[in-house]
Amino acid sequence: MQTQKLDEQLALQLIPPLWKTRVQSTEQFGSFETIDWIDPQLLAEIGQIKRFIERWKADREFRKQVAIDPYNACVLYGLKVNPEDIRPKWDKNFASSSEEQIAEQFPLLKLFDQFYDQHLERAVDVGIPISSSANSHFWAWRERQIARVGSQVKAYVHREISHFTNAFELSKGCSVGCRFCGVAAPRLNDIFIYNPENAKLWREVLENMTSILGSAFQGSFCYWATDPFDNPDYEKFCADYYAITKVFPQTTTAQALKNPERTRAFLEFSKKKNSLFNRFSILSLKMFEQIHQEFSPEELLTVKLVLLNDEAEDIKAHTGRQRERNLQEGIADKELPDQGTIACVSGFLFNMVERSVKLISPCNANERWPLGYIVYDQGTFTNADELNNLIERMIRDNMPLTVRPYDLMRFREDLKYENLSDGFQLANKVKTFKFVNDPYWSDLGKMIYEGNKTAEQITQLLAAQGVLSDQTSYYLNVLFERGVLDSEPKP
Ligand code: SF4
């Protein structure tokens, strides 16, 4: 975009008056659980702030222009926002201000943050009860995975990982072919068309999974190493999903511009079904400009733009194809990369074309798990009954509620063990776990560190020292629940 100097007086005429004089109190707006009842004028203003922040994050040149002359920058980029209303978003001098201070000084920004947080950041947390499940084994397994991931990735990455419970690929491969694809999607080579046979299987799979997982199944979505809009029947699959689960799945597409009318109709459709939010992946600055031209701020209110263009502030995760590129350029795997995964499922990953299922959970990508997720188990099915048996077998094999006597007891490889006078500690760059204040911890830690004994063998050895088996069992299960025991499948 061409930049030119604009007279400040003219800028002030073009930009609306300071909103903070109009928005006196945030109390009147209450909670933003749905947006339909919010004053359209306020929504328009929120949409403009969202647009400013997207531009700020996506466009290096805009960031430079704002630093020089924020009013000019807004006018030149067609943003109907007064930069003074949202100064903390672009002025580093506010970096150390508390949320309360900012909220007090910038009430409109508080409203925006409230809206954004509720609709685009924590929508999954507030909208889907995925932490509860009819299946206690699945629920406990997920809790252990979440505990493990929380001690393996940076805090900001962990906050972003929603740990959805299921993902469904409705095609094989992806037509977009992003060079940084974090899940290294292969080329598109087959599509799960909504024909009578596939539609029947789809509905049976959804019904069976709902009956196995209960409400946790609502935390699912219908893409992975695929783009939803590669499937011409994507909307029909979503409609079935909604009819059976009563929740409309969130969608992320890199093809919002491929057929804008389809995209627009899909946004309308998902809104009617109370969809929580959708996301558009932005692959270049040109695409960013086109999205802002094609869709109005109001249309994008509950669409999060995932900024993957080179000029964006966000880093590319070291996983999948980006990891391959990094390795070729001499950037090795690190114990703690800035972001080493884009995986966001602790649960089942289906490919409906292959009729396959994997049990997965995120990890930092490495040689063994180059796509940024651990595959605990996998299998194929030909019909819904077989799928039921397969899922039940995976739950039985991988999701005990407590340590089993025959389980080999070892600490996770990424944790450094250290014996202490009254116990032991396990540490990596993210977290230090201390198990102390009881001499039995020390003996138990040493035995697990050796890595060659089962739970039963450890229980017997400690029993010979006078430790009750209940006590050993309790301690082993504390470690189990904290996610510090190695649970990765054998290579
Ligand atoms: S990042 Fe998404 S859109 Fe791009 S190739 Fe991978 S799956 Fe396809």
Ligand 1 atom having least distance to the Cα of 254:
3
Ligand 1 atom having least distance to the Cα of 281:
3
Report CA(111)–ligand 1 centroid distance (Å). Answer: 33
CATH architecture entry for 408-481? Alpha-Beta Complex (3.90)
Report CA(147)–ligand 1 centroid distance (Å). Answer: 28
Counting other chains too, the contacts that 327-333 makes at CB distance below 8 Å and 24 or more residues apart are 333/364, 333/365, 333/366, 333/367
- At how many degrees (to 10) do helices 384-398 and 136-150 cross? 60
Is residue 307 within 6 Å of ligand 1 at its C-beta? Answer: no
Backbone phi and psi for residue 375, each to the nearest 5 degrees, phi listed first:
-105, 110
Q: Options 3.30.70, 3.40.1710, 3.20.20, 1.10.10; which CATH number does 129-398 get?
A: 3.20.20
Is residue 161 within 6 Å of ligand 1 at its C-beta? Answer: no
251 strand-pairing partners: 278
Positions of the chain with pLDDT under 70: 1-38, 118-133
* Ligand 1 atom 6 nearest Cα: 181
Closest C-alpha to 282, from 251, 308, 249, 264: 308
Domain with CATH 3.20.20 in the chain: 129-398
Report CA(396)–ligand 1 centroid distance (Å). Answer: 33
For residue range 445-468, list pLDDT tens digits in order: 999 999 999 999 999 999 999 999
Q: What is the pLDDT of residue 119?
A: 66
Report CA(342)–ligand 1 centroid distance (Å). Answer: 11
Is residue 184 within 6 Å of ligand 1 at its C-beta? Answer: no
174 strand-pairing partners: 187
Q: What is the pLDDT of residue 24?
A: 35
- At how many degrees (to 10) do helices 439-450 and 455-464 cross? 140
Say whether 188 sits in a helix, a strand or coil. coil
Report CA(210)–ligand 1 centroid distance (Å). Answer: 28
What whole-number distance in Å separates Cα of residue 244 and Cα of residue 236? 13
Is residue 176 within 6 Å of ligand 1 at its C-beta? Answer: yes
**Probe target for ligand 1 pocket from 169, 178, 284, with the most ligand atoms within 8 Å of CB:** 178
Report CA(208)–ligand 1 centroid distance (Å). Answer: 29
For residue range 182-205, list pLDDT tens digits in order: 999 999 999 999 999 999 999 999
Q: What is the pLDDT of residue 35?
A: 59
DSSP 225-253: SS-GGGSTTHHHHHHHHHHHHSSPPPEEE
What whole-number distance in Å separates Cα of residue 82 and Cα of residue 48? 10
Q: What is the pLDDT of residue 110?
A: 85
Is residue 181 within 6 Å of ligand 1 at its C-beta? Answer: yes
Ligand 1 atom having least distance to the Cα of 184:
6
Is residue 81 within 6 Å of ligand 1 at its C-beta? Answer: no
Is residue 185 within 6 Å of ligand 1 at its C-beta? Answer: yes
Helix (H) or strand (E) holding 165: strand 164-169
Closest C-alpha to 418, from 429, 428, 427, 408: 427
Q: What is the pLDDT of residue 37?
A: 62
> 253-267 burial by CB neighbour count: b if 16+ within 10 A, else e?
bbbbeeeeeebeebb
What whole-number distance in Å separates Cα of residue 30 and Cα of residue 456? 56
Q: What is the pLDDT of residue 19?
A: 38
What whole-number distance in Å separates Cα of residue 372 and Cα of residue 281? 19
**Probe target for ligand 1 pocket from 227, 230, 316, with the most ligand atoms within 8 Å of CB:** 227
* Ligand 1 atom 4 nearest Cα: 178
Report CA(176)–ligand 1 centroid distance (Å). Answer: 6
Is residue 230 within 6 Å of ligand 1 at its C-beta? Answer: no
Is residue 177 within 6 Å of ligand 1 at its C-beta? Answer: yes
Helix (H) or strand (E) holding 46: helix 40-58
Ligand 1 atom having least distance to the Cα of 255:
3
Residue type, 465: Q
Asked whether the beta carbons of 476 and 403 are under 8 A apart, the reply is: yes
Q: What is the pLDDT of residue 321?
A: 97
Report CA(171)–ligand 1 centroid distance (Å). Answer: 12
**Probe target for ligand 1 pocket from 169, 172, 174, 324, with the most ligand atoms within 8 Å of CB:** 174
Exposure of 119 in the CB half-sphere (CA atoms within 13 A)? 28
Is residue 225 within 6 Å of ligand 1 at its C-beta? Answer: yes
